[in-house]
Amino acid sequence: MNRTLLVTGGAGFIGSNFIRRWLDDHPGDRLVNLDALTYAGNRATLRDLETRDDYRFVHGDVRDAGLLGQLFEEEGFDTVVHFAAESHVDRSILGPSAFVETNVRGTFVLLEAARAAWSPAPENARFLHVSTDEVYGTLSPEDPPWTEASPYEPSSPYSATKAASDHLVRSYIHTFDLPALITHCTNNYGPYQFPEKLIPLMTLNALMGKPLPIYGDGLQVRDWLHVEDHCDAITAVIERGRIGETYDVASGEGHTNLEIVHRILACVDRLHPEQAPRDHLITHVTDRLGHDRRYAIDPAKIATELGWRPRHEFESGIEATVAWYLNNEGWWTRILDGSYRD
């Protein structure tokens, strides 16, 4: 059965990768990408799709109830994939208001639009809310990984607003029988990630001989998942997930931030040896306020129920990712000089 999808935030890192993958794998489906094109949204990432009949880009805000109602009426969506979110912890510390507006209010307005359009909901209707492992808080080195049953203990304005949006989605499942599901994912890496994030930032700084700023001792541990594996997990949840359920998505590969930076440097030094070695560029800076020490989640549920497992190994995945940035200077230079906003 063909689907008509509304993807919010599809001009961002994970959303743009998901759109490409979905359209490649689902001929006959139609997809509308709604994005406000804030600083992290880059329409050029998917510009080549705009001549296709199965893809439509709409420049708009997920908080715009009138626009959402119009789109649901025009397109007859049976599937919503909700990526749109402010997602950078540092920015949430500097300015929490935007996170409340987009992550909480935006999710509420979208839920209301889906509820109004799906009364009753089509049999195959799905509303997938893409969330984060950060809602669970932080772990000590000896703690077991989180599961879907772990309590929420968010510790930044970003994670608190994502936790709030999760609760809103669950309330609509329980109260209004909205056919919704939630995913929590670990740190993603791969092509088209905005350069303020760790892996592209360190890659490009190393290439340009700039300092590589590492918070504190750099021993904060994160689980890293290739964005293509995340997109496959989202697809599995849409197609086979049980309505009302939450699925945690992870690779099970934990690495410290310092390890990640050294791996990036090794890749850059090998691919561009003229300035190697670059280890002297590592610079430890004052730690971030409330910096969570360790994240780890258990993906056993999605593996057992839906048969999803990551295909990318981190060692080869990080090398391919670094190579992608080094080979796509035209994409990231437009971000660094601001011309992508024109």
Q: Tell whether 206 is covered by a domain.
A: no
For the chain, give the mean pLDDT.
96
Task: Look at residue 113 in the predicted model and tell me its pLDDT.
Answer: 98
Task: Provide the domain limits for residue 41.
Answer: 4-194+223-253+295-312
Categorize the per-residue pLDDT at 269 as very low, low, confident or very high, splitting at 50, 70 and 90. very high
In percent, the amount of the chain with pLDDT more than 70 equals 100
Q: Tell whether 74 is covered by a domain.
A: yes
Q: Tell whether 15 is covered by a domain.
A: yes
- Looking at 61, 86, 133, 292, which residue is catalytic? 133
- Looking at 55, 136, 158, 340, which residue is catalytic? 158
133 is catalytic: yes
Left, alpha or beta for 338 (phi > 0: left; psi -120 to 50: alpha)?
Answer: left
Residues 200-207 have a mean pLDDT of 96
Residues 140-159 have a mean pLDDT of 96
Residues 317-341 have a mean pLDDT of 94
Closest-CA residue to 77 (of 18, 122, 142, 21): 122
Q: 224-262 pLDDT, tens per residue?
A: 999 999 999 999 999 999 999 999 999 998 999 999 999
Asked whether residue 268 carries a pLDDT value surpassing 90, the answer given is: yes
Task: Look at residue 110 in the predicted model and tell me its pLDDT.
Answer: 98
Task: Look at residue 245 in the predicted model and tell me its pLDDT.
Answer: 98
Q: Are 246 and 184 in contact (CB under 8 A)?
A: yes
Q: How many domains does the chain have?
A: 1
Q: Tell whether 200 is covered by a domain.
A: no
Categorize the per-residue pLDDT at 150 as very low, low, confident or very high, splitting at 50, 70 and 90. very high
Task: Look at residue 341 in the predicted model and tell me its pLDDT.
Answer: 85
Distance CA 33, CA 31 (A): 7
Closest-CA residue to 181 (of 233, 112, 129): 129
Q: 27-74 pLDDT, tens per residue?
A: 999 999 999 999 889 999 999 999 999 999 999 999 999 999 999 999
Q: Tell whether 299 is covered by a domain.
A: yes
Q: Tell whether 285 is covered by a domain.
A: no
Task: Look at residue 173 in the predicted model and tell me its pLDDT.
Answer: 98
Q: Which helix (H) or strand (E) holds 132?
A: strand 126-132
Categorize the per-residue pLDDT at 137 as very low, low, confident or very high, splitting at 50, 70 and 90. very high
158 is catalytic: yes
Residues 76-99 have a mean pLDDT of 94
Task: Look at residue 327 in the predicted model and tell me its pLDDT.
Answer: 95
Residues 6+ apart with CB under 8 A from 95: none
- Looking at 78, 86, 134, 229, which residue is catalytic? 134
Distance CA 300, CA 144 (A): 13
Asked whether residue 116 carries a pLDDT value surpassing 90, the answer given is: yes
217 is catalytic: no
- DSSP of 299-311: -HHHHHHH-----
Whole-prediction pTM: 0.96
Distance CA 70, CA 113 (A): 10
Task: Look at residue 164 in the predicted model and tell me its pLDDT.
Answer: 98
Q: Tell whether 11 is covered by a domain.
A: yes
Asked whether residue 87 carries a pLDDT value surpassing 90, the answer given is: no
CATH for 137: 3.40.50.720
Task: Look at residue 185 in the predicted model and tell me its pLDDT.
Answer: 97
Q: Tell whether 335 is covered by a domain.
A: no
